[in-house]
């Protein structure tokens, strides 16, 4: 199997939410009885890749024959009420690679009480939220591969991300947003356009065009007027510490809402997602401007990994 040259992130933390806000179940341990290892590139496609919110990292079974019967083992650390899970089935690096790899068609969840449930998935390049037939009180679950959609090139089955929830379901940020920017770094594949900052992945970036980024902004369209309660941003290129320090970062941001009001925030100089509570505001769009630019050691480009808004 051959992959595009991709940057594998060394360490990026998941967005931290309080128990009152989040219905996502914390995972204490994740493992698998089959893992693809690319010895030539030194890359291991292990199950922990499904927890890092990155499109370029994923779990891939290592059988070379779709991996039917192989499983992912998830331990929650304590007993939880498991009602739903969300899966990004396939390789979400891009649409081409998604088609070339196998995608999961059917899974079987096996629980400690010896019961099980089979789940059928659609063949779509989007997250699928599955509600179990009944809420299970469990401390662990095993997920078996039972069927697959055939990839056009490789007989490897991939899962890019996996999340679990209680009966409240996911405390989702506003999805389906669109974005434009005052500038972006030009390249043939449009890898650095503003939409990359609202695609749900922490390892894709908007990068500004000429200049340090101090005069740039991103305009996020929310689709309709929304009552906003919180805002999140992942600043910089967090693939490695040297990449993060090598590119520009902002130490401050201003949010301008469609009613003309503004709110400003100071940022910590780190690549992880930072979340801020907003003064109640209703808006159909938000302009995000940058200030206090920290100059990169090796280039003069401003990177933004992700912008998120919550109601």
Q: Identify whether residues 92 and 184 lie together within a single domain.
A: no
Q: Which of 159, 194, 129, 152 is nearest to 55 (CA)?
A: 159
**Residue 215 pLDDT exceeds 70:** yes
In a domain, 2, yes or no: no
Strand (E) or helix (H) holding 110: strand 103-110
Total length of the chain: 311
The rounded mean pLDDT for the chain is 91
Q: What is the pLDDT of residue 26?
A: 95
| Domain of 81, in residue numbers | 29-165
Contact 6, 94 (CB under 8 A): no
Q: What is the CATH number of the domain that holds 250?
A: 2.60.120.260
Q: Give the sign of the dihedral formed by CA 239, CA 240, CA 241, CA 242.
A: negative
Angstrom distance (rounded) from CA 108 to CA 119: 6
Angstrom distance (rounded) from CA 167 to CA 231: 24
Least confident residue range of 10-14, 38-42, 115-119:
10-14
Q: Identify whether residues 202 and 278 lie together within a single domain.
A: yes
Q: What is the pLDDT of residue 132?
A: 98
Q: Identify whether residues 40 and 150 lie together within a single domain.
A: yes
Which of 119, 144, 165 is where one domain is finished? 165
Q: Identify whether residues 202 and 132 lie together within a single domain.
A: no
The pLDDT-based confidence of 2 (bands split at 50, 70, 90) is: very low
Q: Which of 147, 150, 85 is nearest to 111 (CA)?
A: 85
Residues facing residue 249 across a β-bridge: 294
**Residue 36 pLDDT exceeds 50:** yes
Q: What is the pLDDT of residue 23?
A: 73
In a domain, 217, yes or no: yes
Which of 165, 193, 218 is where one domain is finished? 165
Q: Identify whether residues 198 and 279 lie together within a single domain.
A: yes
Angstrom distance (rounded) from CA 145 to CA 268: 41
In a domain, 303, yes or no: yes
- pLDDT tens sequence across 49-108: 999 989 999 999 999 899 999 999 999 999 999 999 999 999 999 999 999 999 999 999
Mean pLDDT value of segment 166-195: 89
User: In angstroms, what CA-CA distances link 303 with 188, 189, 205, 235?
Assistant: 18, 17, 6, 6
Q: Which of 293, 291, 224 is nearest to 262 (CA)?
A: 291
- pLDDT tens sequence across 143-180: 999 999 999 999 999 999 999 999 988 877 887 689 99
Q: Identify whether residues 145 and 187 lie together within a single domain.
A: no
In a domain, 5, yes or no: no
pLDDT, greater one: 281 or 15: 281
In a domain, 1, yes or no: no
Q: Identify whether residues 144 and 235 lie together within a single domain.
A: no
**Residue 300 pLDDT exceeds 70:** yes
Provide the whole-model pTM.
0.77
Specify the number of domains making up the chain. Answer: 2
Contact 89, 106 (CB under 8 A): no
Per-residue b/e over 284-300, b at no fewer than 16 CB within 10 Å? Answer: ebbbbbbeebbebeeee
Q: Identify whether residues 123 and 207 lie together within a single domain.
A: no
Q: What is the pLDDT of residue 20?
A: 35
Q: What is the pLDDT of residue 170?
A: 82
In a domain, 33, yes or no: yes
Q: What is the pLDDT of residue 32?
A: 98
DSSP, residue by residue, 5-53? --PPPS--PPPP--TTT--BPPPSEEEES--EEETTTTEEE-GGGGGS-
Contact 285, 221 (CB under 8 A): yes
Angstrom distance (rounded) from CA 58 to CA 75: 19
């Amino acid at each position: 199997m051959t992959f595009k040259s991709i940057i594998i992130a060394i360490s990026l933390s998941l967005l931290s939410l309080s128990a009152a806000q989040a219905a996502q179940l914390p995972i204490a341990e994740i493992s698998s009885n089959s893992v693809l290892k690319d010895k030539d590139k030194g890359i291991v496609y292990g199950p922990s890749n499904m927890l890092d919110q990155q499109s370029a990292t994923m779990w891939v079974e290592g059988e070379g024959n779709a991996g039917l019967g192989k499983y992912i083992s998830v331990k929650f650390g304590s007993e939880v009420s498991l009602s739903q899970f969300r899966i990004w089935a396939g390789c979400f690096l891009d649409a081409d690679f998604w088609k070339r790899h196998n995608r999961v068609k059917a899974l079987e969840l096996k629980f400690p009480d010896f019961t099980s449930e089979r789940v059928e998935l659609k063949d779509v390049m989007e997250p699928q939220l599955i509600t179990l037939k009944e809420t299970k009180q469990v401390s662990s679950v095993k997920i078996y591969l039972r069927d697959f959609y055939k990839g056009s090139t490789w007989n490897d089955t991939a899962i890019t991300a996996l999340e679990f929830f209680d009966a409240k379901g996911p405390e989702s940020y506003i999805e389906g947003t669109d974005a434009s920017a005052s500038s972006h770094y030009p390249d043939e594949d449009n890898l650095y356009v503003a939409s990359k900052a609202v695609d749900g992945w922490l390892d894709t970036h908007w990068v500004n065009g000429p200049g340090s980024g101090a005069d740039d902004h991103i305009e996020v369209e929310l689709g309709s007027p929304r009552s906003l309660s919180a805002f999140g941003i992942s600043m910089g290129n967090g693939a490695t510490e040297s990449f993060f320090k090598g590119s520009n970062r902002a130490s401050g941001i201003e949010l301008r809402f469609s009613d003309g009001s503004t709110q400003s925030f100071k940022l910590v100089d780190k690549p992880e997602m930072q979340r801020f509570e907003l003064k109640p505001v209703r808006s159909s769009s938000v302009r995000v401007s940058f200030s206090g630019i920290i100059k990169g050691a090796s280039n003069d480009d401003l990177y933004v990994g992700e912008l998120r808004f919550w109601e």
